[in-house]
């Protein structure tokens, strides 16, 4: 009896160990070579990853190639990237030629498009409001898997990279508004928070999202009067609760927009519908009724525009005046504080970049990562985001269908 039990024990032990070896066989991993190019646009001062982020990736087996000068505008010298384990190159051709994943901040420009090679992955912003048909066509022809910051979404519906950059944009909107209200910048000469005996400026924020929340927070902190308008009553209720009723809220209809435009010193466009191109909510006729020297900050410009009078501006030439109103319509607002924005971008991007090392192919990565799968806007020669397909009239397929069919 004891003999039989021993044999059974041996058989069980051998069987379990054999099964264990079979089930836990080592997985093949993709050898990730990640390229961080220098942003060619003069107004883009951010870099996708700080030296600290590069160090973490290198320690986890990722080869990181950094173009010389990529971090200089964010005050990250080349030496810091070299010390972090990054390999420096002064040739964009060499960087793109030796990387299977490109991570950058702004969408590729015309001069960067020939540098992409077939089968690469790109992770960057897209900016639906200024999307280039030629860029998307190039991605489809070269089978580039492109992932947009604004599409990366967690399972709870959060857009983590958009949120991080929106927090910065909201705070900067108030900082910028305060500057352009000054007399020397052609403003009405009003101190945002006022002083004893002199009323503060009145600020209207259009959009009760992350940009709106941080803009309202900073404006209240400076002592301004703040009104927030939005089409969704539940979002306004959350704002009232969060700010303990220290702000005024109103539904975003034509009546309230017209009334508020006449009394506002600053109007901030902070609409950010998920993954959509927005249409102006404030007409040119309404802008005409604003006070001379008042200020419009259109943070929504990278997804369309919140004001009918808005047009793209740059950090070099950030404003224009129309109907006596100063317009600030810079798409990449966080670039004004490039170092802070680059640190914030690194913190948010790193968890997603680490997922690249866990699987053998790009298809496997997208199949196993909900967030990166949601972020893809081109894959296997198709556009995989419906709003983008509608803008470009290029062939669209749901990414889940493409993955399911291999």
17, pLDDT greater than 50: no
Q: Which of 78, 302, 327, 359 is catalytic?
A: 302
Separation CA 152–CA 148 (nearest Å) = 7
Question: Quick one: 245 and 176 in the same domain?
Answer: yes
Higher pLDDT, 391 or 289: 289
Separation CA 125–CA 107 (nearest Å) = 6
Task: State residue 189's pLDDT score.
Answer: 96
Question: Quick one: 93 and 113 in the same domain?
Answer: yes
Average pLDDT, integer, range 111-132: 91
Q: Which of 78, 127, 265, 359 is catalytic?
A: 127
Distances, alpha carbon 129 to alpha carbons 125, 311, 316, 333, 351, in Å: 12, 11, 20, 14, 27
4, pLDDT greater than 90: no
Distances, alpha carbon 211 to alpha carbons 32, 147, 325, 353, in Å: 34, 23, 22, 25
Structure tokens at 204: 């209207």
Task: State residue 341's pLDDT score.
Answer: 97
272, pLDDT greater than 80: no
Establish whether 302 is a catalytic residue: yes
- Look at residue 6 and tell me if it is in a domain: no
Q: Tens of pLDDT along 135-187?
A: 999 999 999 999 999 999 999 889 999 999 999 999 999 999 999 999 999 99
Question: Quick one: 180 and 313 in the same domain?
Answer: yes
| DSSP strand pairing (101-103 vs 33-36) | parallel
Separation CA 202–CA 25 (nearest Å) = 64
Question: Quick one: 131 and 198 in the same domain?
Answer: no
- Look at residue 20 and tell me if it is in a domain: no
Question: Quick one: 361 and 316 in the same domain?
Answer: no
Last residue of a domain, one of 310, 331, 352: 331
Question: Quick one: 344 and 212 in the same domain?
Answer: no
Task: State residue 130's pLDDT score.
Answer: 79
Element (H, E) at 250: strand 248-251
Query: Over pLDDT 70: what percentage of the chain?
Result: 92
Range of the domain at 374: 33-158+337-404
Alpha helices for 98-132 (secondary structure H): none
Average pLDDT, integer, range 333-346: 96
25, pLDDT greater than 50: no
- Name the pLDDT band for 13 (thresholds 50, 70, 90): very low
Task: State residue 276's pLDDT score.
Answer: 65
- Name the pLDDT band for 7 (thresholds 50, 70, 90): very low
Question: Quick one: 255 and 322 in the same domain?
Answer: yes
Question: Quick one: 378 and 283 in the same domain?
Answer: no
Query: Mean pLDDT across the chain, nearest whole number?
Result: 90
- Look at residue 10 and tell me if it is in a domain: no
Q: Cα(first)–Cα(last) distance of the chain, in Å?
A: 54
Separation CA 332–CA 315 (nearest Å) = 8
6, pLDDT greater than 50: no
- Look at residue 301 and tell me if it is in a domain: yes
- Look at residue 220 and tell me if it is in a domain: yes
Question: Quick one: 319 and 395 in the same domain?
Answer: no
Last residue of a domain, one of 316, 331, 346: 331
Return phi, psi of residue 387, to 5°.
Answer: -60, -40
Last residue of a domain, one of 331, 357, 372: 331
Establish whether 127 is a catalytic residue: yes
- Strands, sheet with 382-383, edge to edge from the N-terminal-most edge strand: 87-89, 63-67, 33-36, 101-103, 121-124, 145-148, 376-379, 382-383
Question: Quick one: 310 and 207 in the same domain?
Answer: yes
Question: Quick one: 196 and 238 in the same domain?
Answer: yes
346, pLDDT greater than 80: yes
Distances, alpha carbon 386 to alpha carbons 55, 156, 366, 405, in Å: 37, 21, 18, 19
- Strands, sheet with 319-322, edge to edge from the N-terminal-most edge strand: 248-251, 225-230, 202-206, 266-269, 295-298, 325-328, 319-322
Separation CA 327–CA 330 (nearest Å) = 9
- Look at residue 9 and tell me if it is in a domain: no
Task: State residue 5's pLDDT score.
Answer: 42
- Look at residue 11 and tell me if it is in a domain: no
Q: Tens of pLDDT along 213-249?
A: 999 999 999 999 999 999 999 999 999 999 999 999 9
Q: Which of 87-91, 304-308, 342-346 has the lowest mean pLDDT?
A: 304-308
How would you label 361-393 residue by residue, b for 16+ Cβ within 10 Å and e otherwise? ebebbbbebebbbbbbbbbbebbbbebbbebbe
Question: Quick one: 199 and 297 in the same domain?
Answer: yes
366, pLDDT greater than 50: yes
9, pLDDT greater than 50: no
Domain count of the chain? Answer: 2
CATH of the domain at 357: 3.40.50.720
- Look at residue 54 and tell me if it is in a domain: yes
16, pLDDT greater than 80: no
Q: Tens of pLDDT along 47-67?
A: 999 999 999 999 999 999 999
Task: State residue 358's pLDDT score.
Answer: 85
Task: State residue 275's pLDDT score.
Answer: 54
């Amino acid at each position: 009896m004891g003999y039989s039990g021993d044999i059974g024990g041996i058989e069980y032990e051998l069987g379990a160990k054999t099964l264990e070896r079979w089930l836990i066989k080592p997985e093949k991993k993709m050898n990730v070579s990640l390229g961080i190019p220098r942003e060619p646009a003069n107004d883009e001062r951010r870099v996708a990853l700080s030296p600290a982020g590069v160090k973490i990736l290198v320690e986890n087996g990722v080869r990181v190639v950094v173009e010389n000068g990529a971090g200089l505008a964010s005050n990250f010298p080349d030496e810091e990237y070299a010390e972090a384990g990054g390999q420096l190159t002064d040739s964009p051709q060499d960087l793109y030629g030796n990387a299977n994943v490109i991570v950058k901040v702004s969408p590729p420009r015309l001069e960067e498009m020939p540098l992409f090679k077939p089968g690469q992955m790109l992770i960057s912003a897209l900016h639906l409001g200024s999307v280039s048909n030629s860029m998307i066509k190039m991605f489809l022809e070269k089978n580039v898997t492109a992932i947009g910051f604004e599409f990366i979404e967690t399972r709870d519906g959060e857009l983590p990279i958009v949120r991080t950059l929106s927090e910065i944009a909201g705070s900067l909107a108030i900082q910028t508004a305060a500057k352009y209200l000054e007399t020397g910048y052609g403003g009405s000469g009003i101190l945002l928070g006022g002083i004893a005996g002199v009323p503060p400026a009145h600020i209207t924020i259009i959009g009760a999202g992350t940009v709106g929340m941080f803009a309202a927070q900073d404006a209240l902190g400076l002592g301004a009067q703040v009104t927030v308008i939005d089409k969704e009553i539940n979002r306004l209720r959350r704002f009232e609760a969060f700010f303990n009723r220290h702000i005024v809220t109103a539904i975003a209809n034509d009546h309230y927009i017209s009334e508020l435009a006449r009394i506002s010193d600053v109007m901030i466009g902070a609409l950010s519908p998920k993954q959509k191109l927005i249409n102006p909510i404030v007409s040119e006729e309404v802008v005409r009724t604003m006070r001379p020297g008042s200020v419009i900050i259109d943070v929504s410009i990278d997804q369309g525009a919140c004001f009918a009078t808005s047009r793209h501006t740059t950090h070099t030439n950030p404003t224009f005046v129309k109907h006596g109103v100063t317009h600030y319509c810079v798409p990449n607002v966080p670039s004004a504080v490039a170092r802070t924005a680059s640190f914030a971008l690194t913190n948010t991007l790193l968890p997603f970049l680490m997922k690249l090392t866990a699987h053998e192919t790009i298809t496997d990565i997208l199949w196993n990562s909900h967030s990166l799968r949601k972020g893809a806007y081109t894959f296997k020669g198709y556009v995989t985001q419906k709003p983008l397909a509608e803008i470009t009239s290029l062939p669209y397929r749901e990414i889940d269908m493409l993955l399911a069919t291999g």
